[in-house]
Amino acid sequence: MRALSRLTAGNEQLIAEDAQKASAAMGGTPCASLSGRRRASVSGTLRTVTLRPRAGVPALVAELFDGTGTLTLIWLGRREIPGIVPGAAVRVEGFVGCDDGRKTLYNPRYELVPAAAAS
């Protein structure tokens, strides 16, 4: 039955299911379960990484996707971080906040996860 449901599922749904499996293997809290002002550890894949200055200060902004939702990661004062690139599997930790209605971690601790561990 599972194979049949994968055949009839849309592409986005399949991508989300695969991301959920990979994130679960890396450990952490699903994005959909996050609530504000609590410490959390989240694993997933970086979809986008951009440089967006905030109040004249460089800020590296990344979007982490785990199959259940997205989490915005913001490193203030950073223009780049080696390994923080689109497609990278990461595990991040920090206090969850809300910025413009989006779940956000500012200056999170991060760990790059090898591709074999993320699959």
- pLDDT of 85: 98
| Tens-digit pLDDT profile for residues 28-84 | 899 999 988 899 999 999 999 999 998 889 999 999 999 999 999 999 999 999 999
Mean pLDDT of the chain: 87
| Tens-digit pLDDT profile for residues 107-118 | 999 999 987 666
Domain range 2-118, CATH architecture: Beta Barrel (2.40)
DSSP letters spanning 11-55:
HHHHHHHHHHHHHHHH-S--GGG--TTSEEEEEEEEEEEEE--BT
How many contiguous H segments (helices) and E segments (strands) does the chain have?
3, 6
Q: pTM score, two decimals?
A: 0.84
